[in-house]
Every structure is written in C-alpha cells, then in structure tokens.
C-alpha cells in the first residue's frame, strides 16, 4: 500500500475534500483527479494489454503491466498530469492541491530524465513528496507518516530494487522539489 501512484490519488482526494468548503468545486477537483490519475491510465493499460493479446483478469495483471512498462506509464502520468494542474489552476483549486500535484509531476519528470544514466527511486521520491505535503498541511501527521520512509528504504533494499544511494537520491530529490514547489506557491 505504499505505492506512490495509489497514495497520490488518496492524498490528492483528501486535500481536495479538506481544503474546500463548497461542494461543487470539491466534486469537480475530485472528478478531475480520478479521471486523470485513475480512469484514463487504467483504460490505457487495458487497451495496451488487449493489443498484446492479454487480458486484465485481476488487479495483479495491471500491476505487472505497469512494472514491465515504466516509461509508458511515466509518460502517460506526465501527459495527463500537466493538463490536470492547468485545469485545476483554472478552476481555482486550493494551493496545496496544486502544489502536491505539481511536486509529484516535477519529481516524475526529473526521475524520467535521470533514468537514462541513473536509477533514482521513484517509489521513495513519490512517497516522500506526499509525506512532506501532508506535513505542511496537517503538521502533526508528519511524525506518523514519516515512519513509512525507513520502512520503504528497508523493503526496497531487501528486494534489491535499488541501492542505498539510489534511494538517497530519491529522498533528496523529493525534499528539494517539494521545498521549491511550496516556495513557488507561497506555502513555505
């Protein structure tokens, strides 16, 4: 359950719900998040799998496709994420919602650019971004959520998914991107 794709949807929906007092703007923000970050990517994966002659009979089939095609999924996230930020901005979405989505996109873009010569941990960067944003919004939640970071580092290391330096790079990248994003939105 520490998948940054899954967690980002949960955190973004929570921010949308708790940052707005009016019903219809909140519903429109949540609808856009679910459409751009859940429904369209799943549709893409199902269509791609069908073209290969395979079907997604279980959730595990979709997850395996995502693991086998990280570049496609990353590109799709950025292609759908940037217009989402612009639409949310036009809809006058809460600043923390915009900052969270912007920081996730910036981390994704930087990691995609670095992937050609260094494998930075997207998993750790994404979760760290979300934890920093949660901390900025709900202060006290930081201590409860920050405990996840060492657990992810340990698990990714045991699974031999990343070296310690790759995870440190993901952690540092997320911290820097979040600070710059929060500062640029006037939230730091």
In the chain, where the domains are located: 4-184
Crossing angle of helices 164-184 and 122-138, in 10° steps, is 40
**178 has pLDDT over 90:** yes
Buried b (16+ CB within 10 A) or exposed e, 173-183: bbeebbeebbe
Q: Please tell me the predicted confidence (pLDDT) of residue 1.
A: 58
What are 3-20's pLDDT values in tens digits? 777 889 999 999 999 888
Q: Please tell me the predicted confidence (pLDDT) of residue 86.
A: 95
Q: Please tell me the predicted confidence (pLDDT) of residue 59.
A: 64
Q: Give residue for tokens 């719900």.
A: 17
Report how far apart, in Å, the C-alpha atoms of 56 and of each of 43, 45, 48, 173 are: 11, 9, 10, 34
Report how far apart, in Å, the C-alpha atoms of 128 and of each of 10, 175, 179 are: 15, 7, 12
Pair of tokens at residue 76: 């799709």
**148 has pLDDT over 70:** yes
Q: Please tell me the predicted confidence (pLDDT) of residue 78.
A: 79
What are 115-138's pLDDT values in tens digits? 888 989 988 999 999 999 988 988
pLDDT band at 183 (very low <50, low <70, confident <90, very high): very high
Neighbours of 106 (CB within 10 A): 20
Mean pLDDT, the chain, rounded, equals: 87
Residue of 33, 35, 37, 4 whose CA lies nearest to 19: 33
Neighbours of 188 (CB within 10 A): 12
Q: Please tell me the predicted confidence (pLDDT) of residue 144.
A: 76
What are 40-71's pLDDT values in tens digits? 888 888 888 888 777 766 666 777 777 777 77
The pTM (predicted TM-score) of the whole model is 0.88
Dihedral angle, C-alpha 107, 33, 130, 73, nearest 10 °:
-40
Q: Please tell me the predicted confidence (pLDDT) of residue 31.
A: 95
pLDDT band at 76 (very low <50, low <70, confident <90, very high): confident
């Amino acid at each position: 359950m520490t998948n940054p794709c899954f967690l980002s949807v949960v955190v973004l929906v929570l921010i949308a719900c708790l940052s707005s007092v009016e019903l219809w703007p909140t519903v429109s923000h949540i609808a856009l998040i679910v459409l751009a970050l859940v429904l369209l990517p799943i549709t893409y994966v199902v269509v791609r799998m069908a073209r290969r002659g395979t079907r997604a009979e279980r959730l595990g089939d979709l997850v395996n496709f995502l693991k086998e095609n990280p570049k496609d999924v990353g590109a799709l996230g950025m292609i759908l994420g940037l217009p989402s930020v612009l639409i949310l901005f036009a809809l006058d979405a809460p600043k923390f919602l915009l900052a969270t989505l912007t920081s996730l996109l910036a981390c994704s873009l930087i990691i995609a650019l670095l992937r050609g010569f260094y494998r930075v941990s997207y998993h750790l960067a994404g979760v760290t971004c979300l934890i920093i944003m949660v901390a900025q919004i709900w202060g006290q939640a930081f201590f409860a959520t920050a405990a996840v970071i060492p657990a992810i580092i340990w698990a990714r290391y045991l699974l031999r998914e990343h070296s310690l330096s790759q995870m440190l790079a993901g952690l540092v990248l997320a911290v820097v991107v979040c600070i710059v994003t929060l500062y640029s939105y006037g939230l730091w």
